[in-house]
Amino acid sequence: MERTLELMRHDGPGALTLAESAVKKARRQDEPRPLAQALRIRAMAQGSTGNITAALDDFEAALALARRADDTRLVSQCLHGKAVALKHQGAYTTAITTLDEAILLARSVGNERGLRLSLISLAACHGSLSNYGEALNCLTEARELTQEAFIDEQGQLLGNIAMVYFESGQLDEALRYFEEAVSTDALTPHASYHCHTLISYSQALRAAGQQERAVRAAEDALKLAYQQHNQALEAAALVALGEALVHAAHAEKTLQAAHRLAQKLGLPEPLLSATKALGMFYVTQNKAALGIPWLQQALVQAEASERLFLQSEVHQALSAAYEQQGELALALTHYQQFHALYAQLHQESAQHRMQSQLARKEAERARQETEQLRQQVLEDPLTQLYNRRFLNQFLEREIARSRRNALPLSVILIDIDNFKQVNDQHSHRIGDQVLLAFATLLRLSSRQSDVLVRPSGDEFILIAPETTLPDAQTLAERLRRVVAEHPWETLAPGLALTASIGVVDLLHNDSEDLLDRADQRLYQAKRSGKNQVAA
């Protein structure tokens, strides 16, 4: 793991290769904690290469396993990683709620480093939503914890402080912190942190009229993004470079390349930045007719992201564009909206400081209520396994994840042989005890990464992520043998049970086809004499 984390600082693809190997090894251990840790590291490696969707998938899987292992520290770490991925996808409010839980857990176990990193990320989310007072509160607490921190964390903290000052209009303070952050980052091999800082530094230098230094900072950021093979950072660096370039043709070409890449990635943050930058570029070139459509797109994206700072920038640019066109009524409308947003930014910052403690308590209460509701809606009350409603949702997501990442996926359908006779001969009470014992056997005999479902009656489904058909057959045979050898007579004199099992893997079918094929294999096992596995 240490080697993977070290590689992540400067070689994202190399780190991802090591992380893939670690996940395979952890699956063989059949323990939730090692697999959760391996998936978390793979998620971080995915993020370091810019594959945010895959990173979020892995963080979700790691989080579920960490909760199952009852490892509070690891749960907090997984929540932090998930929140960072959500932020990159533009889901700032959800990221804040997730980070609130991560911080609560980090405090409870005394994980100072986890607390520090979560506070820095929480500040970044609040800054993105223009909650500058709350962002600075988080960064102030984080800085008190960072005196003995790793040098790359100090650089990350300083860069975030600088960005808050920059977006709140305090340019001199922003430049002072950016320069300290860049100097600190130069001492660490963590390329991603350094790249982020240089991109923001370039924007601040451009705002200060230091074009040449802004270009150099953006070019340095772009080199680091290329070295990391991180396309999300590459798109952001291209935007910063395009904004800083003086030569119009070069700037336009660079910004268009940034927009194409951001569109391909489908990530809201770089796409919004590139769209806004292109619109503003055309306005500065006195080509308002070209710039207005880009700015209108950017406004829609900014409103969807709830980022008031960016909305205000776009309204200001649209005001200038319509003034160029001689459409003074529209110019005035957008200027008024810009002015209203500017005032709202400062007002909401003060309000948020007063409401933050109450909001955190409310978020924690809502999270607990949501978890209780989730259990009621998605779990079978008798066996505590997941139910059909969960199956339909989970299998669809797992199929999509497997296809997206070219991973195997297997499904095992299990049916108790002659279960009706149990109810008829021994009573429904004994039948319920059999179902509960059967579910417990499956849970104890399956792997921690497997997901068990009781969709109805005496039928059970095991979903085996990242598992090939031969491995699934081996698992199914083990389950069959465990059922056949269990002393069922302890529940009722003379009771003996077996199970028939159908096994399939993912081809090019949707969830319905996958379950239909599993059902066909199960029928084959029944027709061939029961108490056997058909694949």
Mean pLDDT of the chain: 84
Report how far residue 307's alpha carbon sits from residue 304's, in angstroms, rounded to the nearest whole number: 8
Query: 146 falls in which pLDDT band (50, 70, 90)?
Result: low
Residues 408-456: tens digit of each pLDDT = 999 999 999 999 999 889 999 999 999 999 999 998 888 878 889 998 8
3-state secondary structure of 203: helix
Order across the sheet with 451-456: list the strands.
451-456, 459-465, 409-416, 499-505, 533-534
- pLDDT surpassing 50 at residue 269: yes
3-state secondary structure of 365: helix
pLDDT confidence bin for 164, thresholds 50/70/90: confident
Is 193's pLDDT higher than 80?
Answer: no
Q: What is the pLDDT of residues 478-491, one digit of tens each?
A: 999 999 999 999 89
Higher pLDDT, 355 or 443: 443
Would 264-349 and 388-534 be classified into the same CATH topology? no
Domain ranges of the chain: 264-349, 388-534
> Of the ranges 55-59, 110-114, 287-291, 394-398, which one carries the lowest mean pLDDT score?
394-398
Are β-strands 533-534 and 499-505 bridged in parallel, bridged antiparallel, or unpaired?
A: parallel
Task: Give the residue, 185 or 393, on which the prediction is more confident.
Answer: 393
Buried b (16+ CB within 10 A) or exposed e, 123-159: bbbbbbbbbbbbbbbbbebbbebbeebeebbbbbbbb
Report the range of poorest mean pLDDT among 15-29, 72-86, 207-221, 361-375.
Answer: 361-375
Neighbouring CB atoms inside 10 A of 94's CB total 15
The partner residues of 164 in beta bridges, in order of sequence, read: none
3-state secondary structure (DSSP) of residue 318: helix
Four-point Cα dihedral 387, 388, 390, 393, nearest 10: 170
**Bridge partners, 410 (sequence order):** 464, 505
Long-range residue pairs from 471-474, CB within 8 A, at least 24 positions apart, any chain: 471/410, 472/410, 472/411, 472/412, 472/503, 472/505, 472/535, 473/503, 473/533, 473/535
* Distances in whole angstroms, Cα of residue 169 to Cα of each of 130, 179, 269, 336: 11, 17, 21, 19
Which residue from 182, 180, 286, 298 is spatially nearest to 239, judged by alpha carbons?
298
The kind and range of the H/E element at 464 are strand 459-465
Q: Distance (Å, rounded) from C-alpha 402 to C-alpha 411?
A: 13
Note every long-range contact of 476-485, with CB atoms under 8 Å and residues 24 or more positions apart, other chains counting. Answer: 476/412, 476/414, 476/501, 476/503, 476/533, 476/535, 477/533, 478/445, 479/412, 479/414, 479/441, 479/442, 479/445, 479/446, 480/531, 480/532, 480/533, 482/441, 482/445, 483/416, 483/438, 483/441, 484/531
508-511: Cβ within 8 A, 24+ apart: 510/396, 510/399, 511/392, 511/395, 511/396, 511/399
In total, the chain counts a number of residues equal to 535
- The pLDDT assigned to 350 comes to 47
**150 pLDDT above the threshold of 60:** no
Residue 217 has pLDDT above 90, yes or no: yes
Pull the structure tokens for residue 272.
């919004």
| 208-212, 339-343, 362-366 — most confident range | 208-212
Where is pLDDT greater, at 129 or 374?
Answer: 129
Mean pLDDT, residues 309-336: 90
Q: Find out whether 175 and 213 touch, Cβ atoms under 8 Å.
A: no
**Tokens 């059922």 — which residue?**
483
Tokens of 93: 């409010």
pLDDT, mean of residues 107-113:
87
Q: What's the CATH code, domain 388-534? A: 3.30.70.270
Residues 6+ apart with CB under 8 A from 374: none
Query: What pLDDT is attached to residue 256?
Result: 94
Q: For residue 48, which of 27, 77, 17 has the smallest C-alpha distance?
A: 17
pTM for this prediction: 0.57
For 458, phi then psi, to 5°, come to -100, 25
Looking at domain 264-349, which of 1.10.3720.10, 3.40.50.1980, 1.10.260.40, 1.25.40.10 is its CATH number?
A: 1.25.40.10
Q: Is the pLDDT assigned to residue 257 strictly greater than 70?
A: yes
- 268 band by pLDDT with thresholds 50, 70 and 90: confident
